């Protein structure tokens, strides 16, 4: 006797229109992860988790702002500055400053260290310092030959954290960005 409830379907009987392989919802950003801007005097030992992502930015009203292009960017009168962002695991620091243990962070790469950062590969260990105690001093990245013992954490997307750190908005789903008027306090300074 045929059991209609549990028989397997022939290929041509499979229901159409089901979206298989949908990613789980992304959820909130991890509050433990943020953009790490290495200050003079710090010596950050880190491991590369993923690629370096470069963005054009402006320094405006005391913050790094992502440039949206000449057509719509409200900060475009300020000079353009390149900034790189790289997902890392770092030791002895988190994105806020010195902190014991290992942490995930988005390393902000300054142009002076971009060339060195680009030669790094996933899993590589490196140190990040500043050339002097001057807050405008060059950022220095040096690959470390030290072999990491612990398992490499999973990579994560730096973009939502960059937008959060630059006080930007998350783009809506779909092609193109819709642009919002910046709040007045952004324009006061
Ligand atoms: Zn701009």
CA 71–ligand 1 middle distance (angstroms): 8
Tell me how many degrees the CA angle 129-110-61 measures, rounded to the nearest 5. Answer: 115
In this structure, what is the dihedral angle of CA atoms 12, 13, 14, 16, given to the nearest 10 degrees?
80
The pLDDT score that the predictor gives to residue 5 is 54
Encoded tokens for 132: 């002097």
CA separation (Å) from 67 to 42, 51, 161?
29, 20, 16
CA 56–ligand 1 middle distance (angstroms): 8
CA 160–ligand 1 middle distance (angstroms): 19
CA 93–ligand 1 middle distance (angstroms): 31
CA 114–ligand 1 middle distance (angstroms): 21
Encoded tokens for 35: 């953009």
The pLDDT score that the predictor gives to residue 27 is 67
CA 143–ligand 1 middle distance (angstroms): 33
Name which of 50, 44, 40, 46 is nearest 161 in CA terms.
50
For every one of its 189 residues, what pLDDT tens digit does the chain have, with 9 covering 90 and above?
455 556 776 777 777 788 778 776 666 789 899 999 999 999 999 999 999 999 999 988 888 889 988 888 888 999 999 999 999 999 999 999 999 999 999 999 999 999 999 999 999 999 999 999 999 999 999 999 877 678 999 999 999 899 888 877 544 333 444 444 444 444 433
CA 183–ligand 1 middle distance (angstroms): 16
Name which of 86, 89, 56 is nearest 158 in CA terms.
86
CA 70–ligand 1 middle distance (angstroms): 5
pTM for the predicted model, two decimal places:
0.74
In this structure, what is the dihedral angle of CA atoms 79, 84, 90, 95, given to the nearest 10 degrees?
40
């Amino acid at each position: 006797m045929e059991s209609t409830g549990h028989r397997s379907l022939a290929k041509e009987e499979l229901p159409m229109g089901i979206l298989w392989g949908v990613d789980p919802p992304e959820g909130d950003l991890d509050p433990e992860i943020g953009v790490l801007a290495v200050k003079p005097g710090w010596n950050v030992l880190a491991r590369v988790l993923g690629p370096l992502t470069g963005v054009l930015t402006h320094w405006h009203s005391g913050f790094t702002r992502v440039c949206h292009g000449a057509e719509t960017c409200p900060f475009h009168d300020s000079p353009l500055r390149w900034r790189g962002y790289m997902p890392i695991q770092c030791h002895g620091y988190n994105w806020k400053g010195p902190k014991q243990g290992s942490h995930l962070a988005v390393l902000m790469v300054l142009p002076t260290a971009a060339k060195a950062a680009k030669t790094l590969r996933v899993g590589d260990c490196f140190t990040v310092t500043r050339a002097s105690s001057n807050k405008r001093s060059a950022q220095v990245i040096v690959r470390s030959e030290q072999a990491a013992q612990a398992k490499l954490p999973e990579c994560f997307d730096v973009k939502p954290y960059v937008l959060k750190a630059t006080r930007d908005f998350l783009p809506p789903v779909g092609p193109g960005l819709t642009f919002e008027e910046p709040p007045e306090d952004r324009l006061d300074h």
